[in-house]
Structure 1
Amino acid sequence: MTARFDTYGVMVTGAARGIGEATARRFAAEGAGVLVADLDEEAARRTASAIEADGGRAVGVGCDVADSAAVGEAVEVAVAAFGTLDVLVNNAYSCSERRDGFTDERDEDWQRDLDICLIGTMRCSRAALPHLSAAPGRRGAVVNIGSVNGLSYFGNHSYSAAKAGLISLTRSLAVESASSGVRVNMVAPGTIRTPAWQGRERVLEAAARSYPLGRVGEPSDIAAAVAFLASQDAAWITGITLPVEGGILGVNLGFMEALQQVE
């Protein structure tokens, strides 16, 4: 694999497992030093150790993106470890369990999902931007991890609203940061096979049948898109939301099934 990120320092939140881990591994494989930040500090350190065992450079730290002080400390660890911070990947998330209906929604669920998915992204970006702006060659970049839930209806109201807000934040930060040479983009994944689905493999199998490409996504699918948007291959791309979703946004299964019932 080419070393597109040789000499880069990269911070990935929620990086101990799933999409975050795959993304951290992708950057390390392409030459970057990676800060593996996660609420679960022990798991973050394990992932960082595994990356180093594979020949990469990584440091694992505990980081609660709901805590501004913890975010600031994690950013400083990245700068101290790698001498630079060139890329921030905002992947940490909270997705409250689905309720029977909207009238069953709870304030605390909305507050948690918004605080982690949306405000947490703001906290991390705010702390990282001075360093990203100082990155050589105008290579500073932020890549946010959104969801197709922010683009269409897939349930989970509070999570979906937070991810929709992230689309706006991505555009705003892109314009705000452009003069300092920092690009800000977002990847919106569809259903991805992560540890969050453990024990629900049959649900994933059913979901796969709804995707035009015939499968759910893998964490590596998202990591590849993130690496592209963070790289100089995307040097003239900022403020966009890139769906990586196997074609699910292009279909309307309910409409198709309704037609089939009367034909």
Structure 2
Amino acid sequence: MKRLEGRTALVTGAVGGIGTAVVEDFLAEGASVIISDIREDAVEAAVERYRAAGFAVAGAAASITDFAGLKAAVDKAVAELGPVDILASNAFTGGGDPTLDKTSPERFFEDAGGNLAGSFNTVRVVIDGMKAKRQGAIVLVGSVNGLSTLGQPAYSAAKAGLISLARTMATEYGRHNIRANIVCPGTVQTPAWDERLARKPDVMDDLIKWYPLGRVAKPVDVAKAITFLASDDAGFISGAMLPVDGGLMAGNLAMARELTLEGE
């Protein structure tokens, strides 16, 4: 039996990068999937493609910052596929400016508030259905930016807030048999990097030295961790923060080599 067979999953930020990898892994594991993204044409194309391949999918094009619009879109998809058992909250509203000095109050409010409140909105859309079924698995997509100072302070503050949100949900919703966890990826080679790679083709090579495993992540690396946390294999895991970062947060490899290994 496939790990997610008989389950209905909602994936936000579902078109491109990590979102697409999550959708495809969920489908491979037997789930029906509601594909949600702000880009309506991309959602429609994805739904058409997966249906042609024989998968059970429905679209829910909406912004995570628009609670009413998101709820209406998801409710329509739920009428087609059934109540949501699994949420992979992957959508975000923007990365923000690189430093505090370059971040305006308006931009900080928009990026920090939008990213954090967007995940809150998404959870609120599905939580009543999960409570009614007394079953649910919520996986938020955070970032190593929420664990250490790596730039983009508004985005990073939101990602740090998501860790608290996941733990709060695990504590409050556990009595309803609902689990909540968060994954924190490091650098992931997604289409978001395309413009930077066009300007500097060796940018990924420059980043690799910070990762003990000697590479940056592919979207499927993150998707596999999300699928695990969404499945019954993780049935007694709730409130966990799982770095998916190739060892980045384990320590400073470059500095360790300078201090203790003498560059070996």
CA distance in 2, matches of 1:198, 1:120: 25
Q: How does 1:18-29 map to 2 (within 5 A)?
A: 18-29=17-28
Among 114, 124, 127, the alignment partner of 1:126 is: 124
Aligned to 1:31: 30
**Residue 149 in structure 1 maps to residue 145 in structure 2:** yes
User: Are the equivalent residues in 2 in contact too, given 1:139–1:232 (CA < 8 A)?
Assistant: no
User: Residue 62 of structure 1: SS of its match in structure 2?
Assistant: coil
Shift of residue 185 of structure 1?
0.5
**Residue 117 in structure 1 maps to residue 119 in structure 2:** no
**Residue 4 in structure 1 maps to residue 7 in structure 2:** no
CA distance in 2, matches of 1:39, 1:209: 35
CA distance in 2, matches of 1:190, 1:103: 24
CA distance in 1, matches of 2:17, 2:116: 19
Aligned to 1:231: 231
AA of the residue aligned to 1:128: V
Q: CA RMSD in A?
A: 2.0
CA distance in 2, matches of 1:254, 1:98: 26
Shift of residue 94 of structure 1?
2.7
User: Residue 160 of structure 1: SS of its match in structure 2?
Assistant: helix
AA of the residue aligned to 2:130: L
**Residue 197 in structure 1 maps to residue 196 in structure 2:** no
**Residue 82 in structure 1 maps to residue 81 in structure 2:** yes
Shift of residue 97 of structure 1?
4.3
Aligned to 2:162: 166
Aligned to 1:209: 209
- Encode CA deviations 1:208-261: one digit per residue, 9 max, x unaligned: 23211111101101111111101111110101111000011123256347648x
User: Are the equivalent residues in 1 in contact too, given 2:182–2:242 (CA < 8 A)?
Assistant: yes
Q: Work out the number of aligned pairs and report it.
A: 259
AA of the residue aligned to 1:123: N
Moved more, 90-99 or 240-249: 90-99
- Encode CA deviations 1:61-117: one digit per residue, 9 max, x unaligned: 211010110121133123212122101111111333434x42221123222222332
The TM-score with structure 2 as length reference comes to: 0.91
Moved more, 89-98 or 185-194: 89-98
The TM-score with structure 1 as length reference comes to: 0.92
CA distance in 2, matches of 1:17, 1:116: 20
- Encode CA deviations 1:128-180: one digit per residue, 9 max, x unaligned: 10111233xx5411100000000111111000000000000110011110111
AA of the residue aligned to 2:56: R
CA distance in 1, matches of 2:4, 2:73: 20
Moved more, 24-33 or 103-112: 103-112
AA of the residue aligned to 1:234: A
CA distance in 1, matches of 2:132, 2:74: 14
CA distance in 2, matches of 1:47, 1:212: 35
Aligned to 2:94: 95
User: Are the equivalent residues in 1 in contact too, given 2:11–2:36 (CA < 8 A)?
Assistant: yes
Moved more, 193-202 or 15-24: 193-202
User: Are the equivalent residues in 2 in contact too, given 1:66–1:115 (CA < 8 A)?
Assistant: no
Where structure 2 has 5 or more consecutive residues not aligned to the other structure, the ranges are: none
Aligned to 2:62: 63
User: Residue 60 of structure 2: SS of its match in structure 1?
Assistant: strand
